[in-house]
């Protein structure tokens, strides 16, 4: 039996496999206010994210998806910390997480990212970073669609 | 069809087996380690590695006789033109083309499909006409025809796949009975499943129905001895980089009478005869379809690859690949939780094995194997219709070539143990 090397064990932490096998908030909302379907055309991973947004706050969220452990665990972790958070909070989580994926060590220490911090090892696998960001791409698009027209978040380059 | 591993081999001379260890030394890239392990390159359906003779041919052109072709009257231009046109002859011979004038150099198979869909398609198709494609096509043999369909109003009909990864040929007579199919475009070999399609039979039925036949040979000519006349093809397209040549060069072969009738694809230098203010006349074949300075180094490298493969022996290469596929199918078939795609009989497939595991996604399989130096492809393989047919988003795909070994296949199979040790499963 082959044993995985250190980089693999840091990539595939138990918490990630747990979210992959038992995704949180998987399903559909009957009363969602926005739905975004995001695909990674290069590899076929896809995520359908639904939010119920009231008063600039995410009251409820669900996702359906198909793809690798990283993309599906990432979106599961993301949904598990965003309930009852403001849209601004959610944007800030997305930015912290994106920073961590691009090697920002400070972002990786941010405890508010909770389970998402387990994905830190993905930053060592540049090809897989886009997998981890797919759910956040869907989130940012859903937030953009939830904002009234004219409310544009300033773009922050990674 | 020639090249198939049939049971009735008693009357033909035996096909020599390959000295794989010696062949591997021809490919400098194969001697490296990746992530601390010897590289096992099993992604040949994406692109193949290049032997030193191909690298040297490209280098030699740039170092010794780089010049534009068909233009200059000086010595280097003459040498470059000779080499470029000699390359055309070599590549044409590889597929048994009756004349090198019927062989057009393109960027690759994709450009060849676009050339035919635009030039032949726009001139010949109209609303009500039909184009026959199949579910196993690569996107490059789907999208250009879909664009043609949008431009002309011609409709597309599809041959479907059965559970074993083979085209359901029984449906073909009913499709052709419409009398509206003007052209069929079908892959010689499926890049996602490895299926070798019965192109000669498809050609026979298409011709009987008065339709032309375009064969996407991207995975065919590289892995399979090809004679376009035997196949009954009217068009055959293939790529250099899938068969030990460089990227950015491929070829379209078509029957001369068809090419003569087709309007130019792109305008520019090289493809003209006389240019006037009111219009221009076109150069003779094949130059009519080669606007602009061609990929001279690419063509020279492509021809070097063809000479190399010809010396190794295309029959032997196919036998070797099928032996590896047979071994892989047997081993992976016993690997717990593995689902195989494509023909169950190795005789009907080229060196491609697509699979999934019940516990891990293909991307995760690929990442884990990569840590062990094993390069495979994971994804939809630009064949989303195949993925939809089998209701999966992606597969893992190992694809073999002349330099791969049984030991590399065994490493792939053992690597799946590592996958299971992380993701669980039996």
User: Which CATH number does the domain housing residue B229 bear?
Assistant: 3.40.640.10
pLDDT in tens, A47-101: 999 999 999 999 999 999 999 999 999 999 999 999 999 999 999 999 999 999 9
pLDDT score at B9: 46
The alpha carbon of residue A153 is apart from the nearest alpha carbon of chain B, in Å, by 33
From B284, B310, B336, the end of a domain falls on: B310
- For tokens 């209701």, the residue is B391
Total-model pTM: 0.92
Among A112, A134, A121, smallest CA distance to A16 is for A121
User: Of the residues B282, B310, B338, which one is the last residue of a structural domain?
Assistant: B310
A44·B422 Cβ contact <8 A = no
User: Does some domain include residue B250?
Assistant: yes
- Residues B231 and B351 grouped into a single domain: no
A70: closest chain B residue by CA: B364
Range of the domain at B305: 54-310
Report if residue A118 sits inside a domain. Answer: yes
How high is the pLDDT of residue B8? Answer: 46
Q: Are the beta carbons of A2 and B414 separated by less than 8 Å?
A: yes
| B405 and B279 both lie in a single domain | no
Residue A155 falls inside a structural domain: no
Q: What is the ipTM of this complex?
A: 0.88
Residue A156 included in any domain:
no
- Which chain A residue has the Cα nearest residue B359? A21
How far off is chain B from A87, nearest CA to CA, in Å? 31
What is the count of structural domains for chain A?
1
The reply to whether B40 falls in a domain is no
Residue B44 falls inside a structural domain: no
The catalytically annotated residue of B55, B156, B291, B382 is B382
Q: Are both B104 and B217 inside the same structural domain?
A: yes
CATH number for A123? 3.90.1010.10
Could you give the CA distance from residue B139 to residue B384 in angstroms, rounded to a whole number?
A: 8
Residue A11: domain span: 6-146
- Per residue in A12-56, pLDDT (tens digit) is 999 999 999 999 999 999 999 999 999 988 778 999 999 999 999
Q: Scanning every residue of chain B, which has its alpha carbon at the shortest distance from the alpha carbon of A131?
A: B363
Closest CA to B218 of B111, B294, B376, B331: B111
Last residue of a domain, one of B288, B310, B332: B310
Q: Could you report the per-residue pLDDT of B128-176, keeping only the tens digit for each?
A: 999 999 999 999 999 999 999 999 999 999 999 999 999 999 999 999 9
Opening angle at CA A66, ends A63 and A69, nearest 5: 95
Interface of A with B in 53-82 (CB under 8 A): 66-70
Both B362 and B276 in a single domain?
no
Q: Are residues B361 and B276 in the same domain?
A: no
Q: How far is CA A31 from CA A46, A50, A51, A62, B362, in A?
A: 22, 9, 9, 11, 34
Residue in A8, A16, A133 to test binding to B, most B beta-carbons within 10 Å: A8
Mutate which of B36, B143, B363 to test chain A, going by most A C-beta atoms within 10 A? B363
**8 Å CB contact between B222 and B250:** no
Same structural domain, B228 and B329: no
Q: Are A85 and A94 in contact (CB under 8 A)?
A: no
Judge whether B244 counts as a catalytic residue: no
Residue B50 to residue B58: CA distance in whole angstroms: 11
The pairing of strands A85-86 and A57-66 is antiparallel
Closest residue in A to B415 (Cα) is: A2
Give the helix/strand (H/E) hosting A158. Answer: none
Q: Is residue B146 part of a domain?
A: yes
Chains A, B: CB contacts within 8 A come to 69
Residue A157 lies in a domain: no
Strands B235-239 and B250-254: antiparallel
CB contact under 8 A, B371 and A5: yes
In a domain, A37, yes or no: yes
Query: Of B413, B419, B418, which Cα lies nearest the Cα of B335?
Result: B413
CATH number, domain of B376, equals 3.90.1150.10
Find the CB nearest B393 among A2, A44, A131. A44
Residue A154 domain-assigned (yes or no): no
Number of domains in chain B: 2
Q: Bridge-partner residues for A35, per DSSP?
A: A50
Say if residue B355 is in the same domain as residue B287: no
**pLDDT tens across A116-136, in order?**
999 999 999 998 999 999 999
In a domain, A103, yes or no: yes
In a domain, A122, yes or no: yes
């Amino acid at each position: 039996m082959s044993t995985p090397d250190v980089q693999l064990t840091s990539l595939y932490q138990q918490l990630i496999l747990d979210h992959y096998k038992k995704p949180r908030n998987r399903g559909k909302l009957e009363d969602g206010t926005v739905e975004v379907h995001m695909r990674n055309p290069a590899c076929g991973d896809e995520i359908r994210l639904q939010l119920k947004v009231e008063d600039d706050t995410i009251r409820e969220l669900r996702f359906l998806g198909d793809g690798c452990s990283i993309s599906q665990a990432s979106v599961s972790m993301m949904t598990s910390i965003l309930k009852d958070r403001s849209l601004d909070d959610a944007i800030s989580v997305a930015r912290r997480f994106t920073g961590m994926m691009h090697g920002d060590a400070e972002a990786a220490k941010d405890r508010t990212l909770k389970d998402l911090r387990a994905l830190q090892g993905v930053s060592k696998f540049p090809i897989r970073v886009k997998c981890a960001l797919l759910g956040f791409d869907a989130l940012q698009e859903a937030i953009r669609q939830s904002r009234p027209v004219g409310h544009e978040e300033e773009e922050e380059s990674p | 069809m020639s090249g198939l591993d049939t049971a009735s081999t008693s009357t033909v001379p035996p096909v020599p087996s390959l000295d794989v260890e010696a062949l591997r030394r021809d490919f400098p890239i194969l001697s490296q380690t990746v992530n601390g392990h010897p590289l096992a390159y099993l992604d040949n359906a994406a692109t193949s590695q290049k032997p030193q003779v191909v690298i040297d041919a490209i280098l030699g052109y740039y170092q010794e006789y780089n010049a534009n072709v068909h233009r200059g009257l000086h010595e280097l231009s003459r040498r470059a033109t000779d080499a470029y046109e000699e390359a055309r002859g070599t590549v044409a011979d590889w597929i048994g083309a009756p004349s090198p004038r019927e062989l057009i150099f393109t960027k690759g198979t994709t450009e060849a499909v676009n050339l035919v869909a635009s030039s032949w398609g726009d001139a010949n198709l109209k609303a009500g006409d039909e184009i026959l494609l199949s579910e196993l096509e690569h996107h490059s043999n789907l999208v250009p025809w879909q664009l043609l369909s949008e431009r002309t109003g011609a409709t597309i009909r599809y041959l479907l796949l059965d559970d074993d990864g083979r085209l359901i040929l029984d449906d073909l007579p009913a499709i052709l009975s419409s009398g509206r199919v003007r052209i069929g475009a079908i892959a010689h070999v499926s890049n996602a499943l490895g299926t070798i399609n019965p192109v000669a039979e498809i050609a026979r039925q298409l011709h009987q129905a008065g339709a032309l036949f375009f064969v996407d040979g991207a995975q065919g000519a590289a892995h399979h001895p090809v004679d376009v006349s035997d196949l009954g093809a009217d068009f055959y397209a293939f790529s250099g980089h899938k068969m030990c040549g460089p990227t950015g060069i491929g070829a379209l072969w078509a029957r001369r009478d068809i090419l003569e009738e087709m309007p130019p694809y792109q305008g520019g230098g090289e493809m003209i005869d006389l240019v006037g203010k009111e219009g221009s006349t076109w150069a003779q074949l094949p130059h009519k379809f080669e606007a602009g300075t061609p990929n001279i180094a690419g063509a020279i490298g492509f021809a070097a690859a063809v000479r190399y493969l010809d010396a190794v022996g295309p029959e032997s290469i196919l036998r070797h690949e099928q032996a590896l596929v047979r071994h892989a199918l047997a081993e992976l078939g016993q690997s717990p939780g593995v689902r195989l795609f494509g023909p169950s009989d190795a005789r009907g497939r080229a060196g491609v094995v697509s699979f999934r595991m019940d516990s891990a996604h293909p991307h995760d399989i690929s990442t884990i194997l990569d840590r062990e130096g094993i390069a495979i492809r994971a994804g939809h393989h630009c064949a989303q219709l195949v993925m939809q047919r089998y209701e999966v988003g992606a597969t893992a795909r190992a694809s073999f070539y002349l330099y791969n070994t049984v030991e590399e296949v065994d490493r792939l199979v053992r690597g799946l143990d590592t996958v299971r040790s992380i993701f669980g499963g039996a």
